[in-house]
Structure 1
Amino acid sequence: MSSDPTSEPSRAGEHPSVSRFRAEHARLGGTGEIVILPDSVHTAVLAAQALGCEPGAIANSLLFDAGGAPVLILTSGAHRVDQALVAERIGVERLRRATPEFVRAHTGQVIGGVSPLAHPAPVPTYLDPWLARHSVVWAAAGHPAAVFSTTHDELLALTGATLVEVE
């Protein structure tokens, strides 16, 4: 990406999902930097390239449909979620990839920009322990061009997640 990220963009015109994320992040005591990138980074590889880190340091926020109930898996960009294995580990019958409509209904955000926070209602959240291997972790901040820095431990505390191996 040719432009430098800006950590404190003008709040005027900020996307409402990013504003909601920013408010919730502050309310929960989040310490990381919120960065608005010049382009959408809807994959771990694109986010890693834009941020100058490896894909494993990107926390993908993947929403699944567990029989009509949302389940959020925060996984390292280096991993693929084994849906059958994770369903068994978290005690649900089945996990299916959520439709864009399901994602928006349960998170208020779009695929590629789903943050671990600021959803309309609490969503059961699970965190990939692999992310602890990185001193800085980056996750979406409510929009495909917005990310925030955090640590594995802070992400665990902010979300109230349960640890689960995803592969």
Structure 2
Amino acid sequence: MHPTAAEFADRVHAAYGLEPSIEEFPEGTKTARDAAVAIGCSVAQIVKSIVVVVDGEVVVVLTAGDNRVDTDALAAELGAETVRTATPDEVKRATGWSIGGVPPFGHETPVATYLDESLRSHDQIWAAAGTPDAVFELSPATLRRIAEPEPVDAFEPT
């Protein structure tokens, strides 16, 4: 297992008692579509951890693989003046992970987290496990219990 994926597994086990079953795909799971093909699930079952900056605060927005974050709708929903995509350095500093491998929880620092409720319509979903090649399976209930995301309605189909 890649050392970064192992670090993720250790971190979430220590913090939440979760023992994620991590699968690695050498061909990569950099996009939601790539991940769905590699795993053999629908794109809607892929959790994308999108890191944005809302009025200067880094937050994580968890969306289904077949949706995208509507930053204008997110700003309106959160009462924010500005929402922008976080830079790679901002992502790494706030979450401890690099773009493409950001998991939905187990971050370096506490980060406000928001949820695309469409992820709840599946029995099982898949999320990044610290690298662009590693994913783990979990239930929407586990995602909600550990990440404690606030639901928002700021998504549109890709």
Q: In the alignment, does 2:97 pair up with 1:109?
A: yes
TM-score scaled to structure 1, two decimals?
0.86
CA distance in 1 between counterparts of 2:138 and 2:116 reads 14
Output the amino acid matched with 1:25.
Answer: V
* Residues 151, 31 of structure 1: alpha-carbon distance in 2 compared, 3 angstrom cutoff: farther
1:31 positional shift: 5.4
Output the amino acid matched with 1:160.
Answer: E
Counterpart of 1:71? 59
CA distance in 1 between counterparts of 2:79 and 2:30 reads 29
What's the % identity of the aligned pairs?
Answer: 36
Q: In the alignment, does 2:29 pair up with 1:50?
A: no
CA distance in 2 between counterparts of 1:118 and 1:20 reads 10
For the 8 Å contact 2:9–2:19, the answer to whether it is kept is no
TM-score scaled to structure 2, two decimals?
0.90
Count residues in correspondence.
Answer: 154
Which protein has the bigger strand share? 2
CA distance in 2 between counterparts of 1:91 and 1:39 reads 40
Q: In the alignment, does 2:125 pair up with 1:140?
A: no
Counterpart of 1:33? 21
Counterpart of 1:24? 11
Give unmatched runs, 5+ long, in structure 2: none
1:32 positional shift: 4.4
SS in 2 for 1:80: strand
* Residues 132, 73 of structure 1: alpha-carbon distance in 2 compared, 3 angstrom cutoff: same
1:64 positional shift: 0.1
CA distance in 2 between counterparts of 1:98 and 1:130 reads 23
1:158 is aligned, of 146, 151, 156, to 146
* Residues 75, 135 of structure 1: alpha-carbon distance in 2 compared, 3 angstrom cutoff: same
Give unmatched runs, 5+ long, in structure 1: 1-8
1:108 positional shift: 1.5
Alignment RMSD, CA only?
1.4
Output the amino acid matched with 1:150.
Answer: L
Q: In the alignment, does 2:50 pair up with 1:82?
A: no
